[in-house]
Structure 1
């Protein structure tokens, strides 16, 4: 009977280790995909609006927005968000991504 318990414990240990490894891989893949999507959105925004006066005027407000983690929302930044979303309606970017892209210009 003790040999059966030992074998059962070994099987459970192996199964648990495999589950943890696959969980780590799934989590890592999800994080990498999210970062890639964020990076792609930021690069599309910054390359499209690098000479847009409305967007360039919002750089200081964007810096305040990013530094305050979204607490400070200036009028220039709100105008730039609206302008960007009107010009590129298919762009699915959060306010934080837009602000970071404005700073990258």
Structure 2
């Protein structure tokens, strides 16, 4: 009977370790992906503290929080401004809005 309890305890211990390792691997992959996305979009918005971009922070927050459903006038102006500065950018509106929030 005692050996059965030890086997159950050992099994639970292994399952917990495997689950934790899987979680850590998943969060590392997600974090790495987000870091790469932020880095690529921040390369687009070189220009420091553009007034147009800084005024768009509240609109950018609403845009990101609503998953792109709310598009304010200040955000639209900032997106146009950023794309005019770097016409070859491939960043999405969401990536640019996230970069505006990171400033």
For 1:28-67, list aligned pairs within 5 A. 35=34, 37-46=36-45, 48-67=46-65
Q: Does 1:100 align with 2:87?
A: no
The answer on whether the counterparts of 1:54 and 1:76 sit within 8 Å (CA) in structure 2 is yes
CA offsets, 1:31-56, max 9 Å, x none?
Answer: 8996565233222135x133100000
TM-score by length of 2: 0.63
| Cα-Cα RMSD | 2.2
**TM-score under structure 1 length normalisation:** 0.61
Rg (Cα) greater in structure: 1
Closer, same or farther in 2 for the Cα pair 1:42/1:67, shift >3 Å? same
SS at match of 1:90: coil
Please list every run of 5 or more consecutive structure 2 residues that lacks an aligned counterpart in the other structure: 1-29
Could you tell me which runs of 5 or more consecutive residues in structure 1 were left unpaired when the two chains were aligned: 1-30
* Residue 5 (structure 1) aligns with: none
Contact 2:38 2:99 in 1 (8 A): no
